[in-house]
Structure 1
Amino acid sequence: MSARVAPAIYGLLLSGGASRRMQRDKAQLAYGGQPQLMRAWQLLEAVTERAFVSVRAEQRDDPLRAGLPQIVDRYDAIGPAAGILSAQETHLDVAWLVIACDLPLLDEATLRTLIEARDASGDATAFTSRFDGLPEPLCALWEPSSHALLKQRVDNGSYCPRKTLILSRTTLLPAPGDALDNINTPEEFELMQRQIETAS
């Protein structure tokens, strides 16, 4: 009997957030002269068979996003779960490597660590947060089997992807240092910009 072939891995870059605290589109924030969306996109393209940008309908023609393959949210105002579910329902039989677009310290090595630790017989593979030890849903590998519970919870009004990972068969990896630190305010952006430019 032949071994079961693991589903292909596609990449999903979540870029549909409203960025209320930042007061501007996080995807357009530039580090080292390059918009964060393109930095993240290049990481996903390097490690997955195909990659897509998750967008809200009104973002489709945004110049930064228009030139990239897109998956438009099929759900309104439910946060990151909208992008994950929309991707899963567009390509049913693949695993999704999902990353948020506000992780400026994320690197290719961190994504390859996640992929290499993948357990395709479970529902997901994720890093733990270095702050609370809980799963990080926005740099995680979501297997096709994760769709059912995420959809059920959204249908019941629970939109938290992290809670879905907690309730799923999720392989958890140690936190990858500060690679998953995100930025939410103009002050955090300025600090991160200085940190990246000093390091480069």
Structure 2
Amino acid sequence: MNGQSKVPPLYGLLLTGGASRRMQQDKAALAYRGEPQLLRAWRLLQAVTERAFVSARDTQRDDPLRAGLPLILDRYEAIGPAAGILSAQDEYPEAAWLVLACDLPLLDTATLQLLVTRRDPAVAATAFASSHDGLPEPLCAIWEPASHGLLRQRYESGSYCPRKALMQSSARLLPTPGAALDNVNTPEEREAMQHRLETLA
């Protein structure tokens, strides 16, 4: 097997650098079933990747919840999730990245394992289709090294939306995993999610 046909290693990246403006508090620190969502999502990533990292802003490096975990700090200013993805790709350009948002309380190992099993290293990314609109879900997706050029090009042109980058790329789109990717952005959505989790317990 030559170097060109070798499958890139799969690393995990948990995105926690958002400002959480709609939630009005750090979404990664919110507890579901008695545990901060950051730690729960971190364990899920560790279970399916070779190495896992937490993406954060420089001002979060000393936060007690994050400080004990391997961090990749954003090198790009205030451009949303693309800052974390690009920073990770800059740090380890040889790796593919399973990128995960920190606000998915229903996500489970089986869903991530399905994503990893169905991964296609020959395309720019592998992603699930959204249950809401059928478009690619960029924040529970595997971004191959080949996606870096497009993300960087879009960044330099002022376009920061990872979903639109997936739509422009040669992404493999998997069927939606149902409610597993339902996210939580507001206090009202958090309360509703807590009720859902109680009924599932």
Q: Same fold (TM over 0.5)?
A: yes
> SS at the partner of 2:178?
coil
> SS at the partner of 1:54?
strand
Match of 1:78 in 2: 79
1:119-138 paired onto structure 2 within 5 Å: 119-138=120-139
Equivalent pair of 1:97/1:141 in contact (CA under 8 Å):
yes
Match of 2:195 in 1: 194
1:1-200 paired onto structure 2 within 5 Å: 4-200=5-201
> SS at the partner of 2:112?
helix
> SS at the partner of 2:5?
coil
> What is the CA distance between 1:197 and its match in structure 2?
2.5
Q: For residues 131 and 27 of structure 1, what CA distance do their matches in structure 2 show?
A: 23
Q: For residues 197 and 70 of structure 1, what CA distance do their matches in structure 2 show?
A: 32
Equivalent pair of 1:36/1:104 in contact (CA under 8 Å):
yes
CA RMSD between the two structures: 1.0
> SS at the partner of 2:105?
coil
Q: For residues 195 and 121 of structure 1, what CA distance do their matches in structure 2 show?
A: 38
> SS at the partner of 1:137?
strand
Amino acid at match of 1:29: L
> What is the CA distance between 1:198 and its match in structure 2?
2.6
* CA deviation vs aligned residue, 1:137-168 (integer Å, no higher than 9, x gap): 00000000000000000110000000110111
Q: For residues 18 and 79 of structure 1, what CA distance do their matches in structure 2 show?
A: 9
* CA deviation vs aligned residue, 1:150-194 (integer Å, no higher than 9, x gap): 000011000000011011110000110010010111011011112
> SS at the partner of 1:133?
coil
Q: For residues 33 and 133 of structure 1, what CA distance do their matches in structure 2 show?
A: 32
Stretches of structure 1 that go unaligned for 5 or more consecutive residues are none
> SS at the partner of 1:157?
coil
* CA deviation vs aligned residue, 1:6-34 (integer Å, no higher than 9, x gap): 10000000000000000000001101110
* CA deviation vs aligned residue, 1:103-155 (integer Å, no higher than 9, x gap): 01011100011111111011000001011110000000000000000000011
How much identity, in percent, do the aligned residues show? 68
TM-score normalized with structure 2 length: 0.97
TM-score normalized with structure 1 length: 0.98
Q: Which region of structure 1 is more displaced relative to structure 2, 189-198 or 177-186? A: 189-198
How many residue pairs get aligned? The number is 200
* CA deviation vs aligned residue, 1:70-97 (integer Å, no higher than 9, x gap): 0000001100000000000000101000
> What is the CA distance between 1:199 and its match in structure 2?
1.3
Q: For residues 62 and 132 of structure 1, what CA distance do their matches in structure 2 show?
A: 36
Amino acid at match of 2:83: A
